[in-house]
Amino acid sequence: MKSLQVTPKKARLRNRIELLDIIIFIILLAITLAIILPFLNVIAISFSTQKDFMDSRFMLVPKKVTFANYKAILQDGRLWVGYRTTLIFLLIGVPINLFLTTSMAYGLSQPGFPLRKFFVYFIIFTMMFNGGIIPLYLLMKQINLINTIWSVILGAGINSFYLIIMRNYFMSLPSSLMESARLDGANEWQILFRIIIPISMPIIATITLFYSVDRWNEWYFAMIFIRKNELVSLQLALRSIVMEGQASQHFNYTDVNAIEFSDGMKMGAVLCTMLPIMCVFPFLQKHFVKGILLGAIKA
Amino acid sequence: MARSLERIKIFFKDLWKWRSNCIMILPGVIWYIVFAYIPIYGLTLAFKSYRANLGIFRSPWVGLENYVYVFRDPAFLESIWRTLFINFGRILFQFPYPIILALLLNELRINRFKKAIQTVLTFPHFLSWVIVASIMINVLGSRGLVNSIIKILGGESINFLGSEKLFVPLLYITENWKSGGWTMIIYLAAIAGIDTEQYESAEIDGATRLQTMWHITLPGIKNTIVVLFILAVGNIMVQGFDQVFNLSNPATARVAEILDMYIYRITFKTAADFSFSTAVSLFRSVINFILLLSADRITKWLGSEGLFS
Amino acid sequence: MEKRFDGTYFLPRARFYKNLINDPDEPVPNHFSLYMRKDWAEAVDFPIKSTYKISEVIEFAKKVKESDPGNLGDKLIPIAQAPSNAVRLFVGSNSTYYNGFYKDEDGTYKWGAASEETLEGLKMYAEAYQSGLLDPEFYTLQQNDDTRQFDTQGIAACNFGEAPTAALPRVFETNFQGNLGLDPYESINVATVLGEDGYYHQQDLINYWGTIIFSPNIEEEKFERWMDVLEFNASEDGSIFASLGLKDVDWKYDSEGNIVSLYDNSQQPLGGPDGKYPSMGYTLGVIILHDDFAFDNPNNDQRLRDLSRQLYTERCQICTPETFPKVDWDLFCFDSPNMRKVQFDYDTELTNLVTMGGDIEQNWRDWIESKMPMIQPVLDELNANLN
Domain boundaries, chain C: 2-27+205-317, 32-202+324-385
- Select from B32, B131, B263 the Cβ nearest to the Cβ of A122: B32
Q: Which residue of C has its CA nearest to B78?
A: C370
Q: What is the pLDDT of residue B132?
A: 92
Q: What is the pLDDT of residue A254?
A: 36
Q: Find the angle CA(C254)-CA(C260)-CA(C265) to the nearest 5 degrees.
A: 160
- Cα dist from A275 to A81, A264, A288, B175, whole Å: 16, 16, 19, 21
Q: What is the pLDDT of residue C252?
A: 75
- Select from A54, A250, A257 the Cβ nearest to the Cβ of C153: A54
Residues of chain B with CATH 1.10.3720.10: 69-301
Q: What is the pLDDT of residue C210?
A: 53
* Chains adjacent to B (≥3 CB pairs closer than 8 angstroms): A, C
Q: Provide the CATH topology of domain C32-202+324-385.
A: D-Maltodextrin-Binding Protein; domain 2 (3.40.190)
C363 touches chain B (CB under 8 A): no
pLDDT digits (tens, 9 = 90+) for B164-222: 899 999 999 999 999 999 889 888 888 887 888 888 888 888 888 888 888 888 888 88
* Chains adjacent to C (≥3 CB pairs closer than 8 angstroms): A, B
Contacting residues of C for B245, CB less than 8 Å apart: none
Reply yes or no on whether the pLDDT at A82 is more than 80: yes
- Check: CB of residue C17 under 8 Å from CB of residue C314: no
Q: What is the pLDDT of residue A219?
A: 86
Q: Which CATH superfamily is domain B69-301 in?
A: MetI-like (1.10.3720.10)
Q: Do B251 and C355 touch (CB under 8 A)?
A: yes
Look at B78 and A128; give whichever has higher pLDDT. B78
Q: Do A7 and B138 touch (CB under 8 A)?
A: no
Q: What percent of chain C has pLDDT over 90?
A: 41
How confident is the prediction for chain C on average, in pLDDT? 84
ipTM of the complex model: 0.81
Mean predicted confidence (pLDDT) in A30-46: 91
Contacting residues of C for B73, CB less than 8 Å apart: 341, 373-374
Q: What percent of chain C has pLDDT over 70?
A: 82
Model confidence at A7, pLDDT cuts 50, 70, 90, reads: very low
Among the residue ranges A174-183, B39-48, C194-203, the one predicted with the least confidence is A174-183
Q: Of A53-57, B53-57, C38-42, which one has max mean pLDDT?
A: C38-42
Q: Do C373 and B73 touch (CB under 8 A)?
A: yes
Q: Do C142 and A254 touch (CB under 8 A)?
A: no
pTM: 0.83
Mean predicted confidence (pLDDT) in A110-114: 80
Q: What are the DSSP calls for chain B, one per residue?
A: -HHHHHHHHHHHHHHHHTHHHHHHHHHHHHHHIIIIIHHHHHGGGGGB---TTTHHHHSPB-TTHHHHHHHH-HHHHHHHHHHHHHHHHIIIIITHHHHHHHHHHHH---HHHHHHHHHHHHGGGGS-HHHHHHHHHHHHSTTSHHHHHHHHTT------SS-HHHHHHHHHHHHHHHHHHHHHHHHHHHHHTS-HHHHHHHHHHT--HHHHIIIIIHHHTHHHHHHHHHHHHHTTTTTTHHHHHHH--GGGTTTT--HHHHHHIIIIISS--HHHHHHHHHHHHHHHHHHHHHHHHHHHHTTS--TT-
Contacting residues of A for B294, CB less than 8 Å apart: none
Mean predicted confidence (pLDDT) in B271-293: 84
CA distance B293 to chain C (A): 34
Model confidence at C159, pLDDT cuts 50, 70, 90, reads: very high
pLDDT digits (tens, 9 = 90+) for B218-270: 888 888 888 788 778 877 877 788 899 989 988 898 899 999 899 888 887 77
Reply yes or no on whether the pLDDT at A255 is more than 50: no
Reply yes or no on whether the pLDDT at C19 is more than 70: no
Q: Do C137 and B254 touch (CB under 8 A)?
A: no
Reply yes or no on whether the pLDDT at A249 is more than 50: no
CA distance A257 to chain B (A): 25
Instruction: Label residue C8 exposed, middle or buried (CB < 10 Å: 0-12, 13-18, 19+).
Output: exposed
Q: Do B123 and A278 touch (CB under 8 A)?
A: yes
User: Half-sphere exposure of B259 toward its Cβ, with a 13 Å CA cutoff?
Assistant: 26
Instruction: Label residue C194 exposed, middle or buried (CB < 10 Å: 0-12, 13-18, 19+).
Output: buried
Reply yes or no on whether the pLDDT at B91 is more than 60: yes
